[in-house]
Amino acid sequence: MTIGRQAIMDVYDYKKIDVENIEEIKEMLIKSAKESNLHIVDSKFHKFEPIGISGVLILAESHLTIHTWPEYNYIAIDIFTCGNSINPVAACEIIAKNICSNNFDIKYYERGDKNAISRIGN
């Protein structure tokens, strides 16, 4: 039985986003969520000192999170969706397109089914 689907994306290179600009990160994530047909309920973003940003979009479908590590040129994305109406892998690919990255890895999980796990790489 699958309750939800989750995609976890590791982004190792990006060209189109300033990962130290909290407003730019927030705008990109909201734009990507809307392009993915996700329904945003609320959001919260935080800029760490000296560097790094974490953010979450609470979705009608569940959640989308982002964590940046500028010192490692790395971004972590997590998208969890309940049901089968939204493809979280496609949503990750939209985010990668919006930050202009071809260097990312996506892991996909069907939640609630302990035997269903697969890996999708780029």
pLDDT band with cut points at 50, 70 and 90 for residue 15: confident
For all residues of the chain together, what is the average pLDDT? 91
How many Å apart are CA 12 and CA 39, to the nearest integer? Answer: 27
Give the domain extent around 20.
Answer: 4-121
Q: pTM of the prediction? A: 0.88
The percent of residues above 70 in pLDDT, for the chain, comes to 93
Q: How far is CA 69 from CA 2, 37, 66, 114, in A?
A: 32, 27, 10, 31
Catalytic sites, residue numbers: 62, 67, 82
Predicted confidence at residue 1, as pLDDT, reads 74
**Structurally, how many domains does the chain consist of?**
1
Residue 122 pLDDT greater than 80, yes or no = no
Residue 120 pLDDT greater than 70, yes or no = no
Predicted confidence at residue 119, as pLDDT, reads 55
CATH code, domain with 28? 3.60.90.10
How is residue 51 written in tokens? 């560097």
